Amino acid sequence: MSKTSVSNETSSMVCLWVEPWGTDHWMRPGEVFTVVTEADSEQSPFNVVVHDQGITVWVNAGHDAEVFDKNGGLVPCGHQRLAEGRG
């Protein structure tokens, strides 16, 4: 199992995208999420990209991935997504 943590150290909401599935998980300032996959760490399972639309974690190893909050709770796709026209 491999994990990578992503933290929002800005003063704004930031989107964490998990690819290749395109799931979005919105982070409030100060939040930390962990992306977990079944791949072994030797397989270089993640690439992390910071861009204008947020942060993307690419899961490279051909395994599913899940996102968890700092308390170990599952963070589903669309978590804290802003409504259309807001933000």
pLDDT digits (tens, 9 = 90+) for 13-63: 999 999 999 999 999 999 999 999 987 766 778 999 999 999 999 998 777
Residue 10 is assigned to a structural domain of this protein: yes
**Phi and psi for 15 in degrees, rounded to 5?**
-95, 130
pLDDT of residue 86: 47
Residue 82 is assigned to a structural domain of this protein: no
Q: Structural domain of residue 15, as residue ranges?
A: 2-68
Split into its structural domains, the chain has a count of 1
Residue 83 is assigned to a structural domain of this protein: no
Residue 74 is assigned to a structural domain of this protein: no
Residue 62 is assigned to a structural domain of this protein: yes
Residue 84 is assigned to a structural domain of this protein: no
pLDDT of residue 83: 73
Do you know the residue count of the chain? Answer: 87
Under 8 Å between Cβ of 59 and 35: yes
